Structure 1
Amino acid sequence: MTLLVLLCVFSHVFYLQVSSAPVNNVFQHLQSASKFWHISDLHLDPTYHVTEDHTKVCFSSKGVPALDPGVFGDFLCDSPYQLILSAFSYMKQEDLQPEFIIWTGDSPPHVPKEELSTDVVINVIANMTHTIRQFFPQLPVYPALGNHDYWPQDQLPTSTNAIYDAVAKLWSPWLNPAAVATLQKGGFYSLVIKPGLRLVSLNTNLYYSPNEVTVNMSDPAGQFQWLQETLELSRQNMEKVYVIAHVPIGYLPYAINTTAIRESYNEQLVKIFRNYSDVVQGQFYGHTHRDSIMVLLDHQGKPVNSIFVTPAVTPIRSLLEPYSNNPGLRAYLYHPENYGLLDIWQFYLNLTEANLEKRSEWKLEYIMTEAFDIKDIQPHNLHELALRFEQPKSKAFEKYFNHFMVSYNLTITCDNVCKTLQVCAVHFLDRKTYLQCIASAGRQKD
């Protein structure tokens, strides 16, 4: 059975009974704050089904036997529809009275190229779009394209194409005509979402290292120029800006000297965000499937921007990885007047328990300010937290690394090399300062 045929099965949403750990009175001190949800990396695998032959549970395992498949998924497979429904059911049931949702891409599964096509990718994105809209018919949703939201994957182009056309139509109820026009043209857009608050959705897939379409381009789709002009206009209009995208800036916290996007493009984005740090209130990404933070420092070492990478809904991991992530989703709290970011409420599903009990019980994993004893998630507080991570045997870092995996396995520890990569990635987003951090850590070990 093909992916396209299987998608037809999922044309209607079936609501689930979802258990939840109560959030109620724990958050009374922040009840006046505004909130929004962040979801990312849904990676629906319509082929997922529990069967005795574990090599045939899902196409996304690519023939590798699933580990312990259950109704809500497996750590070697992408998301079954039941997992995605349980996530949205929990969000709806919890009713945090959010102002909007940001959705940072990647709906299709990790399957061989021949299992997908342009039509299948469009159908998967349409399925997820309609599912979200059925759960939250009145709530604005602001999406960003992911590297899997195209066929062939990663090869997002610099001009109009069938997929940009399709998502522009699918997402038009959430956007304005100007945003739809730039989305259709280059896969990016901006719009004012509240008085004095602009959202910028970047297509960072244009800068992604495996994207062969944009090799040697100085400004793919003119997005750098567009971004600078947009931020300059926001500065003149005294707007604050939230930036969303799929592939993050900075260095990967699990690979030495490796940026998620091409290094030259990363340098350009870091420069732009430093120049407009008075305008940008926060940056929100997905892609890595893990939970991490970054703090952008200016040339004097002053913290000027808070950056967040949200964990995935899909639990899939590569065979080469020692760990995965439990499915996660989160809410951000922000000041309703100046749009400053106040806190993160991170929720997760213990996949092993959910499969054993055959019911999903999403829980609060942590509240950022309480977990790390910080006032809010503004840059200076995240900077001070990151300095605590650097300390030997830092309990704060141990907690952070457990959150990085979304409480996947408490017995997994982060050795000295692992910690160096994590800590340097939090604080140093450009090549010069990152390499200095790595070198300094090496000297301390000698």
Structure 2
Amino acid sequence: MWTSFNIVMWLSSIFMSRIIWNSEAIPLDVYDFHSTQHSFQINEFNNKEISGKFLHITDLHLDPYYLPNSNPKKYCHRYAKKSKKNKSGKFGTLGSDCDSPYALLDSTFSFLKENFHDADFIIYTGDSLRHDRDSKIPFPNDDVISGHKSIVKYVTESLDLSKTKFIPTLGNNDEWEHNQLEGGPNTLFENLTQIWAPLNLNLTSEFANGGYFRQDINSKLSVFSLNSMYFYESNDQIKDCDQINSPGAIQLKWFKNQLKNARQEGRRVLIAQHIPPLDSDGESSFLPQCEEKFVQLLGEFAEIISGHFTGHTNLDTLTFVTESENISGKYNLYYLDKDEGPSKKSTDNIILILNNAPSIIPGKYSTSSKMFGVLSDYIQYYLDINKANEIGRAEWKIEYIASEAYDMKQLSPSEWAKVLDEMKSDQSESWQNYLKFVTVSSE
């Protein structure tokens, strides 16, 4: 059994989630951009030369009440009278409803500090807090605040923020109440503005009112941290995006204006949000009009969007934005379902790829003047939780490298179209790899 993360160049973020522990591995992804002899300086980072690497992290779910050698059926919070039932491990407990212990986050951030200190930035797609499952342990607002502070403490102690920008988003477990977030301004945004202050983020009035913001990496690349809670169908505090004053509609208006500005200024953008538009079954996660309007914006501005990163499902999956063959300018989503396969649906006219991570992913992006910010590769790392518990230490290893696993030159829509075409054969190596990687397996 494993845990994993992805490394992307740019640095993508680390994603640790509870549900992923039910699979064989916990992942970490690393992304690559095309690299050349050219280099650009990041104005915000004291003229530091960029490396073309970034990390994507998600779903850390830190549980301060986690007890090693306790009863997993009691959420790893209490001991059973019969000692044989006390099976929770030091680094986590696979196949349970337990969240992440300090030991797992310690090992994760130590691994990041040792191996990715040259990352340009880290995208963190949310869910910092434990799940509110244990009726015997209340989840007061003070615990929400302390949970967010704990993640910031890990970040500030592990990273040199003058060199590596940490860019967070809000998950559905990051609020006062699970899945619920009212329109802003609200007390959560007020608290997060103070808690995230050490990260030196661009938290303007848009964040105070809506929980989203734009973070410029330099004059050629920006990260949009979106608040998917204002699109999420399970959030009963909001209305659909056809309501002009709904939080989602207001966010979409801001998002469109930011995309227009980026296009005019010749900037590429990366989009980060916690919840993907489609869930692990390929069904909509967003309110109907929020999804429709959001997808049309992705399609309309696909040429400047270098990447879209989410977490939440705890699976390593791909979703594609496609252009309709029948209606010009009409865009749709196609989810690559491991239970269905690309042979069941059309995979033509791919214009954008949405990456969903189960944990930590490092990546690369191009630093050439013409291709700056274009994703070129990513690496998925994993941690064997059972082995770590057995030997008493965490050993992060590479699960796969995207360019090698799928035989791609770069992570472009045209290259992904070729991969999907090959995957139409159930016995193709690329399809068999995808089936294996979805749930994080190195076997």
| Fold agreement, TM-score > 0.5 | yes
1:174-206 deviations in whole A, cap 9, x for unaligned? 3455x3332121110113211211111110111
Select which of 83, 92, 96 maps to 1:73.
Answer: 92
Select which of 243, 249, 261 maps to 1:233.
Answer: 261
* Residue number in structure 1 paired with 2:349: 302
Structure 2 CA distance for partners of 1:57 and 1:391, relative to 1, 3 Å: same
Unaligned residue ranges in structure 1 (runs of 5+): 1-26, 313-328, 411-446
Cα separation, 2, equivalents of 1:195 and 1:237: 8
Structure 2 CA distance for partners of 1:173 and 1:48, relative to 1, 3 Å: closer
Cα separation, 2, equivalents of 1:401 and 1:96: 32
C-alpha displacement at 1:121, in angstroms? 1.0
C-alpha displacement at 1:405, in angstroms? 0.8
Structure 2 CA distance for partners of 1:210 and 1:187, relative to 1, 3 Å: same
* Residue number in structure 2 paired with 1:386: 420
* Residue number in structure 2 paired with 1:45: 63
1:201-246 deviations in whole A, cap 9, x for unaligned? 1101111121001134535321011111111111111111111100
Select which of 141, 146, 151 maps to 1:128.
Answer: 151
Between the two proteins, what is the percent identity of the paired residues?
28
* Residue number in structure 1 paired with 2:398: 364
* Residue number in structure 2 paired with 1:118: 141
1:38-97 deviations in whole A, cap 9, x for unaligned? 110000111111235443452599xxx989421101021110011011011111111362
Instruction: Tell whether the 8 Å contact from 1:208 to 1:247 is kept in structure 2 after alignment.
Output: yes
Select which of 115, 121, 131 maps to 1:94.
Answer: 115
Structure 2 CA distance for partners of 1:30 and 1:361, relative to 1, 3 Å: farther
Structure with greater proportional helix content: 1
Root-mean-square deviation (CA, aligned residues, Å) is: 2.4
Structure 2 CA distance for partners of 1:160 and 1:52, relative to 1, 3 Å: closer
1:354-407 deviations in whole A, cap 9, x for unaligned? 111111000111110011111111111122212222222233222112111111
Cα separation, 1, equivalents of 2:65 and 2:358: 23
**2:223 is aligned with 1:199:** yes
Q: Which AA in structure 1 matches 2:130? A: P
Cα separation, 2, equivalents of 1:210 and 1:199: 26
* Residue number in structure 1 paired with 2:14: none
Structure 2 CA distance for partners of 1:54 and 1:173, relative to 1, 3 Å: closer
Cα separation, 2, equivalents of 1:386 and 1:263: 27
Structure 2 CA distance for partners of 1:66 and 1:275, relative to 1, 3 Å: farther
C-alpha displacement at 1:299, in angstroms? 2.4
Instruction: Tell whether the 8 Å contact from 1:59 to 1:111 is kept in structure 2 after alignment.
Output: no
Structure 2 CA distance for partners of 1:273 and 1:216, relative to 1, 3 Å: closer
Select which of 209, 214, 218 maps to 2:238.
Answer: 214
Select which of 354, 357, 366 maps to 2:388.
Answer: 354
Structure with larger RCO (C-alpha < 8 A, sep 6+):
2
SS at match of 1:227: helix
**2:166 is aligned with 1:141:** yes
Cα separation, 2, equivalents of 1:381 and 1:135: 36
Cα separation, 2, equivalents of 1:31 and 1:131: 33
Instruction: Tell whether the 8 Å contact from 1:295 to 1:305 is kept in structure 2 after alignment.
Output: yes
**2:131 is aligned with 1:104:** no
**2:105 is aligned with 1:84:** yes
* Residue number in structure 2 paired with 1:252: 279
What's the TM-score once normalised by structure 1's chain length?
0.75
Structure with greater proportional strand content: 2
SS at match of 1:352: helix
Instruction: Tell whether the 8 Å contact from 2:76 to 2:88 is kept in structure 1 after alignment.
Output: no
Please give the residue correspondences for 1:271-290 in structure 2 after superposition, counting only pairs within 5 Å: 271-290=296-315
Structure 2 CA distance for partners of 1:310 and 1:207, relative to 1, 3 Å: same
Cα separation, 2, equivalents of 1:165 and 1:52: 37
SS at match of 1:200: strand
* Residue number in structure 2 paired with 1:323: none
The count of residues paired between Structure 1 and Structure 2 equals 359
Please give the residue correspondences for 1:326-341 in structure 2 after superposition, counting only pairs within 5 Å: 329-337=360-368, 338-341=372-375
